[in-house]
Amino acid sequence: MKYWYENVVIRKRGKIPHWHVPNGLYFVTYRLAGSLPRHIEEQIALLRASLLTAREHDYDSAEAREIERNIFKITEAELDQSRGNCWLRNSEIAATVVSSFEHDDGGDYEMVALAVMPNHVHVVFRLKSELDVVIKRWKSFTAHRANKALKRSGTFWQSDYFDVLMRDSEQLQRTITYVVDNPAKAGLRDWPHTRTWPERIALMI
């Protein structure tokens, strides 16, 4: 089933344009500061420059979508090695992140699936507000509490995030499967910090 969105607005975040769609179904990933080595950061920066060029010609071109997939694959492959900061291994902090998603669920967004990994977070949800506002709220809520629990100060989350607008139910199903399977794929046994909302998913596929 294809999703038809109205009032699609293209906004720039940094230099790269992103789709903002009220009532859109989004897959968002964001990660801890210091979770990737410099050479991977540099590789991603080059791909993001290519993505900017591709989207200036055609926002949703096959080239742009392929670059977007490559950015995600490279980032995920490195994050799943858990070689950088992994503060979310702390169960108290992971629980705080989960509670940040539950706080306004049914208000500015409607949760569909989540996975809190040792150094990054995956979230699938229906947006009912402003994407940047929602994610900024999640990050600020958790960063303050996490730093306090860790007895540290400074940047907790990496500033940007990766977002994909779900185009159809097949893509949504693939994405939800990826999210809930990510801990096992990364070698995390009995990892407790995943969740889905089956009754909502049933209405979307």
Domain ranges of the chain: 31-204
pLDDT value of residue 14: 64
Given the candidates 2.60.40.650, 3.10.450.50, 1.10.287.1770, 3.30.70.1290, the CATH classification of the domain at 31-204 is 3.30.70.1290
pLDDT value of residue 16: 62
* Band (57; pLDDT cuts 50, 70, 90): confident
* pLDDT tens per residue across span 123-169: 999 999 989 999 999 999 999 999 999 999 999 999 989 999 998 89
The reported pTM is 0.91
Sheet holding 25-31, edge to edge: 162-165, 25-31, 120-127, 109-116, 194-196
Q: How far is CA 142 from CA 33, 96, 126, 191, in A?
A: 13, 6, 21, 20
Q: Say if residue 199 is exposed, middle or buried (CB neighbours under 10 Å; 0-12, 13-18, 19+).
A: exposed
Report, in angstroms and rounded to the nearest whole number, the Rg of the chain calculated over CA atoms: 16
DSSP state string for 5-74: -SS-EEEEETTEEEEE-TT-EEEEEEEBTT-S-HHHHHHHHHHHHHHHHHHHH-TT-HHHHHHHHHHHHH
- Average pLDDT for 169-173: 95
